[in-house]
Structure 1
Amino acid sequence: MTFDSALLSLNVELKGPVAEVRLIGPSKGNAMGPDFWTELPRVFEALGADDEVRAILLYGSGGTFSYGLDLPAMQPVFAPLLESRGTDARLRSSFRRQIQELQDAVSSVARCGKPVIAAVEGWCIGGGVDVISAADIRIASPGATFSIREVRVGIVADLGSLQRLPAIIGAGATRHLALTGEDFTAQRAHELGLVTELADDVVARGRELAARIAANPPLVVQGVKRVLDQGAEQAVQTGLDYVQVWNTAFLPSRDFAEATRAFAERRPAVFTGD
């Protein structure tokens, strides 16, 4: 299996039975723009179907995992609904389908039949947390920083964190982090169980873990993953469907418009509840 040079946001390298998927931008901090959302499911579906691949290592380039959603690059997705103030049913329906496509891109990581190890260094914000939440194993460097930051930019997180994190770190910790949007350290992520291990060279450690998994009987490994996932998919999908409807109705608000302006102007946002 090969991927052509048309991939713009990801680099895929096969090293024996381990596939390494590296976020490469093109936006600063591996922010997730249109290319990422198109390429992520394409890559993970292909790797899941490749019998030679037994484990996948996912990590970011440039010393960071991801700054999350690339708001400027994704502006064309939001702009029509914001301009209509959510009054156009056709636009709302189209916007819901777009949310679903982004959700499906993240879920391609969870659906992949091969175990996925996310190795995090630097920043892992918003959409970055959505993606690692869909992985099977998460490890981090001691200097990594995490944030479920959507609440600070006027968005209910809608790509999987709110659905998957309660089973990983508990409902209480998920509520705390999602409602405050605060940054938290790798040490705290380890204490909560979001990451199972801290390593100075997190990519090297990820490679060790991937090789160990790949050395086990592949059908048994895939069976372990499927058994652990059994029953969880329906609950996650129900939550994803619900937040599609919520954000379709409430995202086109003055507060979200203020958040996007404040982001562009590099100033604190002032929210009014409108």
Structure 2
Amino acid sequence: MAHEHEQEREFVLEIPEFAHLSYGVEEGVALVTLKRPGALNALSQDLLRELAEVVEVIAQDSEARVAIFTGEGKAFAAGADLKEIAALKDPFMAREYALLGQGVFAEIAALPIPTIAAIHGYALGGGLELALACDLRVASKDARLGLPEVGLGLIPGFGGTQRLPRLIGRGRALDLILTGRHVSAEEALGMGLVNRVGEDALEEAKKLAEKILKNGPVALALAKESVVRGEGLDLSEALEIEADLFGYAAATEDMKEGVRAFLEKRPPHFKGE
């Protein structure tokens, strides 16, 4: 006999089986690790598709408040898979290949929570473009970053020609893109390509995530949205967006708790409401 009122089912997040990456969440930090160490985590099409899947998981995972992307072994990601690039037969296949990478990285960039790339070893070509899709980048002292595609007779195709100039300026971006040279972590820090440099990129990224996690989750999402939506707009239009989102933030329970905690000289206890 059917119950008059069905009991509400608890949402259970389904995590796919991944062959080329791992995913886990601990204390609010979602960690995505590329796992093709034998190929220096080169971004094959299969790995790109798994990245798209894991982004969907992160977007649905209520426990994930900050996401860190890193690589297993000696490199963050040494670039796209050259065997797959060599197999591209015509401009149409190559265009679809570029659109696949661009689409995946656009999904990473569109995540509402803060994202951090923890870079060690090589972050070249598609690997650097993956890092550029994240909000923040932390590098270990051994990191080497660059877009070397012109040396292969190509151009960056996963967003590098567009995201890099927006991040570090046209002149500096063209320096890297047209020479194809690699830069050290320290030079990358000096040009604003990375935000922090430390002995261990993942540990530094986790420390950065801890600082972010102390703040209100709704405010974090709205702050990121304000920056992203305001890019490329006239200042007056961008300020309108900021005012709207400020108003939204001011109506949240988190804002009331944050102000109350400040006045009471205690740490806030945000609930994301």
Q: TM-score, normalised by structure 2?
A: 0.76
* Distance in 1 separating the partners of 2:56 and 2:232: 17
Name the counterpart of 1:204.
203
Report Cα offsets for 1:174-209 as digits up to 9, x if no partner: 001000001111111000011111110221111111
Q: Which runs of 5+ in 2 are unaligned?
A: 1-12, 234-273
Does residue 69 of the first structure (1) align with residue 68 of the second (2)?
no
* Distance in 1 separating the partners of 2:44 and 2:139: 24
Matches within 5 A, 1:1-274: 1-5=13-17, 7-25=18-36, 27-76=38-87, 78=88, 80-81=89-90, 92=92, 95-232=94-231
Q: 1:10: how far off?
A: 1.2
Q: 1:74: how far off?
A: 4.4
Verify the 8 A CA contact 1:34 1:74 in the aligned structure 2. Answer: no
Q: 1:143: how far off?
A: 1.2
* Distance in 2 separating the partners of 1:228 and 1:118: 19
* Distance in 2 separating the partners of 1:223 and 1:35: 33
Q: Provide the secondary structure at the position in 1 that maps to 2:173.
A: helix
* Distance in 2 separating the partners of 1:97 and 1:74: 12
Q: Which runs of 5+ in 1 are unaligned?
A: 87-91, 235-274
Comparing 38-47 with 117-126, greater Cα deviation is found at 38-47
Counterpart residue identity of residue 216, structure 1: N
Q: 1:50: how far off?
A: 2.1
Name the counterpart of 2:5.
none
Comparing 95-104 with 126-135, greater Cα deviation is found at 95-104
Q: 1:22: how far off?
A: 0.6
Greater relative contact order (CA < 8 Å, ≥ 6 in sequence): 1
Structure 1 segments, 4+ long, off by >4 Å, are none
User: In terms of Rg, which structure is larger?
Assistant: 2
* Distance in 2 separating the partners of 1:4 and 1:45: 10
Name the counterpart of 2:246.
none
Q: Provide the secondary structure at the position in 2 that maps to 1:230.
A: helix
Q: 1:102: how far off?
A: 1.8
Q: Equivalent pairs: percent with the same residue?
A: 30
Q: TM-score, normalised by structure 1?
A: 0.76
Q: Provide the secondary structure at the position in 1 that maps to 2:212.
A: helix
Q: Number of aligned pairs? A: 221
Verify the 8 A CA contact 2:109 2:133 in the aligned structure 1. Answer: yes
Name the counterpart of 2:249.
none
**CA pair 119-233 structure 1, distance change in 2 beyond 3 A:** farther
Counterpart residue identity of residue 78, structure 2: Y
Comparing 221-230 with 162-171, greater Cα deviation is found at 162-171
Q: Provide the secondary structure at the position in 2 that maps to 1:64.
A: coil
Comparing 11-20 with 211-220, greater Cα deviation is found at 211-220
Q: Provide the secondary structure at the position in 1 that maps to 2:79.
A: coil
Q: Provide the secondary structure at the position in 2 that maps to 1:19.
A: strand
